[in-house]
Chain A
């Protein structure tokens, strides 16, 4: 069977149900496992990272599979995927896989093939000079940043994703190709708090955020939106029904109650929030999903807002590097970023990273009380002396 080259292919618009096949599901995974993976399924004994980006897995059958992990941009064209196929056909019997974090993994069954594969991958560059398939992303380093669509495809973003990730990975590249951090650092990026990327449990999370309440498009609101649903969509009850001067039904916004979540815009296109000066980036840190040593935990807001300085986001890159470098210097072996911050105390986190602590970082939403410190267990930092001075307790 060939792909049709007719304009509408096998689809007949006059009889849309004719020959329609549905509910097939995905193709079965087993056929896409390389033979060595099929032979050793469930028989793996252990693995070792031979060098950054290169793993060997050893089976109880004695077989070894070598994996080369390469960074991927998530956004890929058919040209890029065909080049991946070319490599997979040449070295890997036509098999390849992707990781959850957008890395590409090529697998071979001998050290000789491994060397040839590595050499080939390292030699491939775009005409502008960037690597097509940088090797790395294993162990105690920074691996690819998972991210969302941003300006490439999304209608609600407060920033762009692909550009920020590219800019930041250029800055963090040495950490992608090395394993010198105390533990792995997972960086994730979402362009609004709908978080289709679910970045809220990452060592470092970057989040696009609005800062201006929605503008009400009074002219069309009643004809394009379900007003009761819009009102119900607001978590702070800031939206109420209203009428325009000409008697059209609309809504009004109690602006000082808005927390800029954008849920109303998701429900109603007549309430856009996006704004060049308003939108920017929030940085969160200290989350994780692994159960290792300590339970999984949320990332915490450590920088309330940074500007959308397209296309290379220097302020965001600087903030991330401050966190990463302080962590690299100070944390103990195996200690994740959040575990480090909890051990030294968040007051020390701000002291060591040099990030300013502002009132925006103190929770004032629901369940805020759970984040208050209700003990005398604290460490002295300059921020504490400032409070004492301001309160008149010391000179």
Chain B
């Protein structure tokens, strides 16, 4: 198996692109770090240096010392940017209010997204974070890296930015946290020319798509999550960089119904891997689980004594559709009753595996609560093959976008539009018939919006005809 990029990519070797020497990168001792004090008093922040969990303050301080010792001539923005950030954070704790100004429209030429403008409202006190713009860098699908890539990015971000980043932002991008307006274009040019790498999405456009690690290291993935994610990300670059939508739009790709990237809760269009044939059973392994030779659920519950594994209690009785039973020492599954919830497979991964005729279920409209309340994705297309070049999927996407761009109000997510118009309208847009699987239950009110063409004779009637039969 091998996948190839859609365009030729520049090979990225850190040794060829690097900015800093080894001496510059290891430029402080542990003793110096212990004695290092940032320029502002930060007692509350410093309370967060203790405790076992990785301390972002301790981390920030070592980068602050590193920048201090690098010297200003080796840095394109102020070297004490981290110290000012910690100073402002301390003051925010003190005041119980953020000190970032509202908004700020900055970006790189020709793109409407990828850069989040940010300015401090305490610029006299913290001049080095007067500008603190964030850049979103579109992560490689499922966040595998090599160190050439990461080290290159670190050199670039030390030199032209704050040395602070998020690995990763909520949507999945690498977040480069804080630089000045002057450096936005230079960073973009270095990213595209040297790293051969683009920014991600922000604003009212396609947000950076994200996927689970799929077949790279999971036995349950029902399609090539990275490949589909990569394909749609590159195919829809224009939609990702140039806002033309009513609001944000998210694709997320889960390889199976366990939903490790939470597509069902947060993607306007959620791709969830599934299968339409039978769960594969290895009856010998089933026996081994029953005999206690294999630890259930991949050992996920090993920290507590839950007693001997009981297939009846832990698998068969917990099956939501009760479609499993033991017969002559063999596990039986009535697959046509199965809703593929993954529980039995999760509990006995060595005995049970998803089927081999696989594809995706498509769900639409998930979003966080702002504004009309949170929504989960609505099951709309039960099964679809997901194979290159994914034309069937692109066709669905474009129907949805065309409708949303036509009818959506400013800042209206797809899920809200579907609610405003109703599922029947959405089905008409997609050109698909209704199915009971789209609802938990049929409606309990009879307020059906009949259309004129549904009713024989139409709606045009003459009151005189009526009155001929019924006196006033």
Residue of A32, A102, A184, A311 near B45 (CB, 8 A) is A311
Question: Quick check: B219 and A127 within 8 Å, CB to CB?
Answer: no
| Cβ contacts B361-396/A at 8 Å (1 or 0 each) | 000000111111110100000000000000000000
A169 to B56, CA, bound (A): 12
| Cβ contacts A68-82/B at 8 Å (1 or 0 each) | 000111111111111
Question: Quick check: A30 and B300 within 8 Å, CB to CB?
Answer: no
Taking the nearest CB of chain B, how far is it from the CB of A28, in angstroms?
4
**Residues of the B chain whose Cβ atoms lie less than 8 Å from the Cβ of A97:** 142-145, 213
A2 to B195, CA, bound (A): 10
**Residues 278-334 (chain A) with a chain B CB within 8 angstroms:** 279, 287, 289-294, 296-298, 308, 310-312, 333-334
**Residues of the B chain whose Cβ atoms lie less than 8 Å from the Cβ of A49:** 298-300, 302
| Sample of 9 more A-B contacts, CB < 8 Å, known A41-B216, A42-B224, A80-B63 | A4-B186, A13-B185, A26-B230, A130-B55, A155-B98, A155-B103, A163-B48, A166-B48, A199-B368
A79 to B165, CA, bound (A): 10
**Residues of the A chain whose Cβ atoms lie less than 8 Å from the Cβ of B303:** 52, 139-141, 178-180
Q: List the A residue with the shortest CB-CB distance to B236.
A: A25
Please report whether the interface of chain A is mostly helix, strand, loop or mixed according to DSSP. Answer: loop
| Cβ contacts B304-340/A at 8 Å (1 or 0 each) | 1010000000100010100000000000000000011
A139 to B155, CA, bound (A): 36
Q: Which 4 A-B pairs have the closest CB atoms?
A: A276-B96, A139-B300, A170-B51, A269-B102
A14 to B193, CA, bound (A): 19
**Residues 34-88 (chain A) with a chain B CB within 8 angstroms:** 34, 37-38, 41-42, 44-52, 55, 57, 65, 67, 71-82, 84-85, 88
Stretch at the interface among B87-95, B397-405, B445-453, B459-467: B87-95
**Residues of the A chain whose Cβ atoms lie less than 8 Å from the Cβ of B314:** 333-334
| Cβ contacts A355-392/B at 8 Å (1 or 0 each) | 00000000001110000000000000000000000000
Interface centre among B54, B56, B88, B304 (most CB of A within 10 A): B54
**Residues of the B chain whose Cβ atoms lie less than 8 Å from the Cβ of A116:** none
Question: Quick check: B139 and A131 within 8 Å, CB to CB?
Answer: no
Q: List the B residue with the shortest CB-CB distance to A268.
A: B102
Question: Quick check: A269 and B103 within 8 Å, CB to CB?
Answer: yes
Question: Quick check: A140 and B49 within 8 Å, CB to CB?
Answer: no
- Cβ of B111 < 8 Å from any Cβ of A? yes
- Cβ of B52 < 8 Å from any Cβ of A? yes
Question: Quick check: A153 and B134 within 8 Å, CB to CB?
Answer: yes
Residue of B55, B110, B262, B295 near A73 (CB, 8 A) is B55
Question: Quick check: B372 and A201 within 8 Å, CB to CB?
Answer: no
Residue of B1, B150, B237, B301 near A81 (CB, 8 A) is B150
Question: Quick check: B144 and A33 within 8 Å, CB to CB?
Answer: yes
Question: Quick check: B59 and A79 within 8 Å, CB to CB?
Answer: yes
Question: Quick check: A30 and B299 within 8 Å, CB to CB?
Answer: no
- Cβ of B454 < 8 Å from any Cβ of A? no
- Cβ of B257 < 8 Å from any Cβ of A? yes
**Residues 131-170 (chain B) with a chain A CB within 8 angstroms:** 132, 134, 138-160, 163-170
Question: Quick check: B306 and A333 within 8 Å, CB to CB?
Answer: yes
List 6 interface pairs A-B (beta carbons < 8 Å), by A numbering: A25-B198, A160-B92, A194-B370, A261-B371, A263-B371, A269-B101
**Residues of the B chain whose Cβ atoms lie less than 8 Å from the Cβ of A78:** 63, 66, 154-155, 157-158, 163-165
**Residues of the A chain whose Cβ atoms lie less than 8 Å from the Cβ of B110:** 17, 20, 22
- Cβ of B16 < 8 Å from any Cβ of A? yes
A269 to B411, CA, bound (A): 17
- Known pairs A94-B146, A95-B145, A291-B257; A29 contacts B140 (CB<8 A): yes
Question: Quick check: A179 and B189 within 8 Å, CB to CB?
Answer: no
Taking the nearest CB of chain A, how far is it from the CB of B106, in angstroms?
14
A333 to B100, CA, bound (A): 45
- Cβ of B107 < 8 Å from any Cβ of A? no
Interface size class of B (residues with CB under 8 A): 35 or more
Question: Quick check: B49 and A126 within 8 Å, CB to CB?
Answer: yes
Question: Quick check: B343 and A334 within 8 Å, CB to CB?
Answer: yes
Question: Quick check: B300 and A293 within 8 Å, CB to CB?
Answer: no
- Cβ of B261 < 8 Å from any Cβ of A? yes
- Known pairs A46-B298, A72-B54, A195-B368; A23 contacts B241 (CB<8 A): yes
Question: Quick check: A1 and B194 within 8 Å, CB to CB?
Answer: yes
Question: Quick check: B349 and A28 within 8 Å, CB to CB?
Answer: no
Count, chain A residues at interface, CB 8 A: 153
Question: Quick check: A26 and B233 within 8 Å, CB to CB?
Answer: yes
Question: Quick check: B50 and A129 within 8 Å, CB to CB?
Answer: yes
- Cβ of B420 < 8 Å from any Cβ of A? no
Residue of A28, A41, A184, A263 near B215 (CB, 8 A) is A41
A114 to B76, CA, bound (A): 40
A26 to B143, CA, bound (A): 11
Count A/B pairs, Cβ under 8 Å.
493
Question: Quick check: B4 and A28 within 8 Å, CB to CB?
Answer: yes
**Residues 1-17 (chain A) with a chain B CB within 8 angstroms:** 1-5, 7-11, 13, 16-17
Question: Quick check: B55 and A166 within 8 Å, CB to CB?
Answer: yes
| Cβ contacts B235-270/A at 8 Å (1 or 0 each) | 001101100000000000000011111101110000
A20 to B371, CA, bound (A): 38
Residue of A19, A44, A133, A201 near B265 (CB, 8 A) is A201
A176 to B53, CA, bound (A): 10
Stretch at the interface among A144-152, A241-249, A250-258: A144-152
- Cβ of A338 < 8 Å from any Cβ of B? no
Question: Quick check: A196 and B170 within 8 Å, CB to CB?
Answer: yes
**Residues 196-211 (chain A) with a chain B CB within 8 angstroms:** 196-201
Question: Quick check: A289 and B178 within 8 Å, CB to CB?
Answer: no
- Known pairs A128-B49, A170-B52; A85 contacts B4 (CB<8 A): no
| Cβ contacts B62-106/A at 8 Å (1 or 0 each) | 110010000000001000001001001100110111111111000
- Cβ of B10 < 8 Å from any Cβ of A? yes
Question: Quick check: A293 and B343 within 8 Å, CB to CB?
Answer: yes
A45 to B218, CA, bound (A): 8
Question: Quick check: B341 and A310 within 8 Å, CB to CB?
Answer: no
- Cβ of B196 < 8 Å from any Cβ of A? yes
Q: List the B residue with the shortest CB-CB distance to A78.
A: B154
Question: Quick check: B59 and A193 within 8 Å, CB to CB?
Answer: no
Question: Quick check: B258 and A290 within 8 Å, CB to CB?
Answer: yes
**Residues of the B chain whose Cβ atoms lie less than 8 Å from the Cβ of A279:** 96-97
A158 to B60, CA, bound (A): 23
A308 to B374, CA, bound (A): 24
- Cβ of A123 < 8 Å from any Cβ of B? no
A308 to B97, CA, bound (A): 10
Question: Quick check: A32 and B265 within 8 Å, CB to CB?
Answer: no
**Residues of the B chain whose Cβ atoms lie less than 8 Å from the Cβ of A130:** 49-55, 58
**Residues of the B chain whose Cβ atoms lie less than 8 Å from the Cβ of A294:** 320
A19 to B193, CA, bound (A): 9
Taking the nearest CB of chain A, how far is it from the CB of B155, in angstroms?
6
- Cβ of A27 < 8 Å from any Cβ of B? yes
Residue of A139, A155, A275 near B100 (CB, 8 A) is A155
| Cβ contacts B334-361/A at 8 Å (1 or 0 each) | 0000011111001101100000000000
Question: Quick check: A79 and B265 within 8 Å, CB to CB?
Answer: no
